[in-house]
Each structure stands twice: as structure tokens, then as C-alpha cells.
Structure 1
């Protein structure tokens, strides 16, 4: 099934029905106003107070069910924005077009784009709670933030003085049966290569070097899988070419978001006519190398050299040799991947960085990275190394949008309730884990002293990629589980 606006879901779970309605509204990071207005109206139409600030954050209050008025208030939190990624050849404008939803067996996915389950499902759970007249729960403060996927600006700008709750359920996790209780902090890092241009007349045949077919993924959750980064591979091929033959370079680009592992990257080359066959052989050699290196984690990698129009240029100019050298060196040297694993928690990265975007502009080639660590000292060390690299290459450097990690809380009544209810409902123990991704619990815990928080969610796969999908039955089960948790929290009187 495939439809942009009509329902493709035949079930009764209110969460998925609200998700379908939300998916008709474009809501990429930085463009959440329409979605925020939609949810605010939804709440007000049902008689609830909805506060909207200048960044389009929402705080919505739903009073306690009668008999639960003396239980501690619970914050239910998620974010309104989503990452916009699409497959090659897919026509979709993330600022104007609705997500075209599909149901494939027990999964909901999208037609060639990201689905927006991260974190549209949290918004849908919140809407379902607002609409559930028979739910039993303590007083709720529903907090929906903006720009989580880029700068976490919403969480940083939120007026926390409006919140009375000190128990928070974050709904930005992606695996049923796993309760997350700690997360990494992070920052954005920007490395910019100054660009100087020269005449491309007589430089050779124009060719597009393209890296495609990669799996990609979330730069926090999926970085541990050591999947290929298309920008990094592009640098290796360009370096391999310059070691064996001359060529001109007129542009490089790859990736769409710093917190997504790039699946595609490309460069515009000028290759001497008499060396075209050689360039094609070298490209084929690199394709074989990558196939061997990434056989188990990224088997679909493609490397091609083909005739091409200019990458946003008129085709009459290319980089100077100095700019070309610095651009290729930067693609090779700006780090990407896991820097250090956490020895205390098997399988958890402690520090990583990801080059998520490379873009050529008139005056510079901008590299944007998402750097993460559960230790501020290691985060600062990686940022300092990247600054030193930029300085050594003669490039500009900037960093910002720092957000704190979310430390583990040794004593948590909220965690205990989640575990108890899960064991009762599922007949088995729940896993408790830390996550390398950055979630807003860290910022809000830093700003709300004493906050007791957990993060939970249904099965959601391949987020930040066009293969993103969620398991419908898991969303349905998680809705029932959430209601049981809130009922148990409501039954507690001032604990």
C-alpha cells in the first residue's frame, strides 16, 4: 500500500492513526512550526492547556485522572522534528511534501524516504494520551521539542520553569524491551576548506565520481557497526587517483545530516581524454577494494565514473591545485567512526565522530561532523584534535551546539516501576542499557535538578535512512505497556 494522506493502517491502535495524520505535515529540523501548530490545536480542541514558545516547543498539560491527583506529575517527552533522507532518484521535497506511508506486513515504512518514526512516534503517543478519555494516569506534562536532530535548540531553549514534574518518560528510543537510562553528550564540529578557482578550459572530459549504495544509519546508534562512510570513501578514491594520474577537481559533496552516516557522495572531475580508460580502471579497482573491506557490513557499495554535468557550477572552472590538495587531504583526515569503546559496558562506544555532510560552496568546502562521548574530557580531546587538524591544513574551524551527557542514576523509582510492569506484562525481565546517541534527557536532567528519567520506545529500525521502518505490533504493545506504567505511577501517592 502507498498513499500520501489516506490511511494505510487497518488496525485500531490510536498511536499509529495519529502518526499517519502527523506524517502529512513536513517537519524537518528547523521547520517544525506547522507540526507544532497542528499538535497545539489538537490539544486545545480537547480542552487542554498548550504553551508554545518562540522555538515552537510545546508544553501541554493534562490533569490527573480522578483519584490520581496526589501522585507525582509525569513528564512525557519527545521531539517534533525528523531527519530528511531520500534514495537517489526519489522526488521529494521535505519542506513541502507529506511522507508517503506504506505498510509491508508488520512494518510501516515510507516510499524512498525516511519515515519520521524518530521521533514522530513520540508525538503520536502524546496525541493518543491526550485523546484517551479512559486512561488512568497522574497529572501529565507533555513536552515536545524542536531541532533535536540538529542542535537540540528546543531542549536548550525550553522554559523549564513551566514544568512541575520531576519524573520524565522520554519516548525517543528504538527497541521494545530495552530501557535506556544513560546517554552520550556531544557537539557539532565544522571544518571548512577555503576555495580558490581556476579556469577549466582544456582540463579534460567532465566526469562524476560517485559513491553510492551504502547502508548508512544513525551516527550514534549505528556507528558501532563500522559501516562505510561515503565521504571517507570518496577521499580514498580521489587520493588513489591523484597518486597515479593528473585530474582537475571542481566540487565534492556528500551526506545530508551530521547525525546520519552518509550513504552517498560524489565529486566532479576533469580527466584528460587520453587517461579516461585508466581512470575507469582505477575506479573499478577501488570498487573491488571496498567490496572486500565492507563485504559483511556494507555489501551494496557502488563506485562509478560517468559523464556528468557540473555540480551546481557552469562547468567553466575548477579548484586550484592547492585547493584540490587540501580538499582531498581533508576527506582523508577528518576523522569518522568509533574513537574509543566503553570497557565497562560491552558493545557500547564511549567516544565517536561522524562526518555527516560535505558541501561545496562559492568560497569553501564545509565539513559538518557530529562528535559524541559519554566523557566530556574525551569529547573535548576529539574536538581539539580536529581543530589542530584544520589549523595544520590551513582550514577554518568552528564547534558548537554542545549538549551534556545523561548520567546514570543509581536510585530511580521510575526505572523500578518500568521494570516491574514489564515483568508483569511480558513475563520476562527488561534489559537496562546506556545509549551512545544523544537524547534530550541529558539537557533536561542538567536543567531540572533531581529529574528521574528513562527512555523507551517500540521497535524502530534503520532510522535516519530511507529504509527506516517500525514494527506495527510493537507500537501497539508499547501503547498498552505505556498505559499500564502510567496507571502504576498514578497509583503511587507522593512517593
Structure 2
């Protein structure tokens, strides 16, 4: 990773290199938090760890800028832990192996954590600087954004003193975000009834793999394959004809990442083995036609395994496959107000088979509460039909756009002055924390910017080096232009 520290702007990339060296998957940010706290105290910066685990670090204004409005630069400490199937990596212990490929920084077989490590690095670099002009400054680093927004939910009123918040979690240079989707987690729980397997049957491991995956908000409109849905489709379509029985179903690893892999252990009568192989081959060919643009490398395969002692009952199998195959997934509705932006979506993210039940986790996102509530209602109806319990949790609000935002205008005008072109003012179909910050800080003026990050939440994640420099230049210029406080 020594390559990283040589990139420009060096202050930012040197911090990103340090961040990559400290494991920080969601809910395991303690080591990084301690490192940052020790670093801040050694430089006489005031650092506060709130009851939730968020860090607030304060730095006085540079000389002559004491009368400016206070600015909060915000990022989240955690990252999504995703690795390729052939990559051995313990996200709680192993550093991220980042490397430079042309104008991109990538990771070796895992997520990179540029989401939101680049934003965090920029905030820490500004805190460390002695030559960057700014008014009263706070840096807010939240925990567990990717797995539940725990830090944002736990932020209390009265902790922050700033007037303006700059969120650094956006992922496209040249776009300024002034609104985002809200969301809610949904779970299906289907009780399992099992029976003894037929000793004359043959058992196989059925695998869907080779998919791109990605962020379940930012990438949901790209039409990429969802491994859980693909596997459920094959099983539903072929179970009766092949005499196929199911003994487990597992797919995906995060409710906010489009599932790249899914697995099922199945049994078929010995006489149907050749027919199963043919069906798998034909299905893969069909998928590669359907997904030729969005996910051309999709793979469906079988391999023989030892016959399990038990399998799902016919009734349980019918309920589960009907539930998974019928479950909505992907874009539900595009926005009428913001052209090209997804309004409402659903990601069937994780399926696990436990001793006595199958659990399926979904993430619903929507720019409007009624869109979110409508999908919740559909899932509740589907659960009733399939005999599954449905629960909803972790609902968080969207961030409603404010066309009169002063900081948005400052960022827009600054971008125009630097790059001599219009930035795109956007609403993002992802769960930025700004919507939750508006609860304890309703009058705080907020905006979100960032560099270009491709394929976040997947091992293909990469960040564009040139745009990191552009983001850094814009951020520093905006800090210099913050107006005086009335």
C-alpha cells in the first residue's frame, strides 16, 4: 500500500493508507476509533466519544476566520465486508490490500472501503493541516452506518455546535446531493418442517455465482442479477418436474448489498440426475442471454455432495419457493420528480437456513414514506399467503431536498468557478445519514459531496484518483467560502 501515500493529494491519501491498515467492518470500529482518539489528543484537539460510539473532534478556526459559521465535516467509520469466494480474508483482523491500477485504487479480492474511508481521510487530513483555511470546525465520525445507521440514530441534540454539515458519503464527482432515500429492514421467518431423506436419491450443491453485486441503492437500477432471486427461480420452475427436494438455502451476506452468490443443497431421484444437469446448463444459457449486458458472467453449477439425513417437507418447500420467487426485488418505481432517480426499491439481500426456520432479510428504500409503506404492505400480504412471519425494523427517514439551502448554493457556485461547468444537483437513492441528523438538528444546513466510487459494497469497489483530487480541491474551496455567522 506504500503506493497510496505517494498519490496526490498526499495528506488525504496518507490518511486513507492508515485507515486501510486498521480493520473496521460494521460493528467492529473500536480499534480505528481508539487510534483516531489517541492521534487527536496527541495534537491537543478536543475529541468526544458519545454514548453510542460516535466521535466528535473539534478544531478552532484559522486566524481571521473565527466569525464564520461553524462547519461539521461528517463521515462514517465502518465499511462493508465483502470478499470473493476464493479470497481468504478476516475483516476483523486483516488489513485491506489496496493497490493502484492506472487512475483507480482497488482492493485485492475484497471491498476497498473507499465508501466512506475517502471522506473520513479528507476530514482527518483537514484536522491535521496547518495551512488550510477554515472557520470553527467539527468532524463527526459515526459508527455502524452500513449495518443499521446505529451512530446516526444515536446522535443526540446539543453535541454538535456547527451550523452547516458537509456529508462526504456521495460517490460521483460532479454531483451535489441535497436529498436521499429513507428505508426500512424487512424480515420473513418461515417455520421449517423436515422429513427423512430418501436413501435412493442423489444429493447436489446448486450454486449461483459470478454476479457483480453492488450497492443495493446506488446500483439497483442497473438490472444486475440477484443470486437469491435467480436460485429461487430455478428451484420453483424445476422442483415438480425433476422431483427435486430442498434441504437448505443460503444466499447473500448483507441486506444492503445485491447478493452475488447463493447456494442450495438439493436431492433428486437417481433417474433424474441427467435431467438436472441439462436443466442447470439450459438455465445458465438463458440467464447469460437475459443478463448479457448487466451480468454476463453469471454462473449456475452443481456438484455432488453427501446425502443429508433430512429434507424440507413438501409443504415447507412449496411455501418457501413461492415466497422467494414471488418476493418483489429491484426497482419498484422511478421518481416522477427527479428524472433518472429510483424512487422505491427492494433488495432481497440475505437468506439463511437455521435448525427450525428459514429467514430472509430485505432492505426497502424510498424517497417517499408512502412508497416505502406500500412495499411493506405488499410484503406483509405475501407473508400471509406463504405462512411466514413478517417483521419490520430500523426505519429511517429520507432527507428532504431544500432548494433554498445556502451551503448547496455555495458548493454549486464554487464548483462552477473551479471547473467552469455546472454540477448536477441530485437526490440519491441511498441512505445517507443526513435524514437522521435532521431529527436532532432540524435547522442545520446540509449537503453531500464525494469522489467517484464504482461498485461499492462489492469486491469490485474502486475509487477514481483524479476525482479524489477534485473532491479535495472543492472541499477546501468551500471551507474558505463559508459566510460569517449573523
Shorter chain as denominator, the TM-score bin is over 0.9
- Equivalent position to 2:433, from 432, 440, 461: 440
- Give CA-to-partner distance per residue, 1:267-296, whole Å, 9 cap, x none: 111122221100011111111211121111
**Separation in structure 2 between the aligned mates of residue 201 and residue 100 of structure 1, nearest angstrom:** 47
- Equivalent position to 1:10, from 6, 9, 20: 6
The aligned residue for residue 102 of structure 2 is 105
The aligned residue for residue 484 of structure 2 is 493
**Separation in structure 2 between the aligned mates of residue 386 and residue 36 of structure 1, nearest angstrom:** 38
The aligned residue for residue 268 of structure 1 is 265
Q: How many Å apart are 1:371 and its aligned residue? A: 0.2
The aligned residue for residue 210 of structure 1 is 207
The aligned residue for residue 292 of structure 1 is 289
Call closer, same or farther: CA 1:456–1:349 in 2, change over 3 Å.
same
Q: How many Å apart are 1:96 and its aligned residue? A: 1.5
Q: Is the 8 A contact 1:7 1:17 kept in 2?
A: no
Count how many residue pairs are aligned between Structure 1 and Structure 2: 485
**Separation in structure 1 between the aligned mates of residue 373 and residue 38 of structure 2, nearest angstrom:** 42
- The answer on 1:172 being equivalent to 2:163 is no
- Give CA-to-partner distance per residue, 1:287-339, whole Å, 9 cap, x none: 121112111111111111112368xxxx3222222221122112202211111
Q: Is the 8 A contact 2:3 2:100 kept in 1?
A: no
The aligned residue for residue 417 of structure 1 is 410
- Equivalent position to 2:191, from 190, 194, 200: 194
Q: Is the 8 A contact 2:3 2:99 kept in 1?
A: no
**Separation in structure 1 between the aligned mates of residue 151 and residue 442 of structure 2, nearest angstrom:** 18
**Separation in structure 1 between the aligned mates of residue 335 and residue 302 of structure 2, nearest angstrom:** 40
**Separation in structure 2 between the aligned mates of residue 346 and residue 243 of structure 1, nearest angstrom:** 44
Q: How many Å apart are 1:53 and its aligned residue? A: 2.3
Structure 2 spans left out of the alignment, 5+ residues: none
Q: Is the 8 A contact 2:320 2:386 kept in 1?
A: no
Write out aligned runs for 1:369-384 (5 A): 369-384=362-377
- Give CA-to-partner distance per residue, 1:229-283, whole Å, 9 cap, x none: 1100001100122131112211111111111111111111112222110001111
The aligned residue for residue 342 of structure 1 is 335
- Give CA-to-partner distance per residue, 1:386-432, whole Å, 9 cap, x none: 01211221111111101101001121110111112111111212111
**Separation in structure 2 between the aligned mates of residue 480 and residue 115 of structure 1, nearest angstrom:** 23
Q: Is the 8 A contact 2:4 2:13 kept in 1?
A: no
CA RMSD, Structure 1 to Structure 2 (Å)? 1.4
Q: How many Å apart are 1:446 and its aligned residue? A: 2.7
**Separation in structure 2 between the aligned mates of residue 251 and residue 443 of structure 1, nearest angstrom:** 38
Q: Is the 8 A contact 1:232 1:332 kept in 2?
A: yes
The aligned residue for residue 43 of structure 2 is 46
**Separation in structure 1 between the aligned mates of residue 40 and residue 119 of structure 2, nearest angstrom:** 15
Q: Is the 8 A contact 1:203 1:248 kept in 2?
A: no
**TM-score of the pair, normalised by structure 2:** 0.97
- The answer on 1:307 being equivalent to 2:304 is yes
Q: Is the 8 A contact 2:25 2:80 kept in 1?
A: yes
- The answer on 1:466 being equivalent to 2:462 is no
Call closer, same or farther: CA 1:96–1:273 in 2, change over 3 Å.
same
**Separation in structure 2 between the aligned mates of residue 95 and residue 195 of structure 1, nearest angstrom:** 33
**Separation in structure 2 between the aligned mates of residue 197 and residue 376 of structure 1, nearest angstrom:** 40
**TM-score of the pair, normalised by structure 1:** 0.95
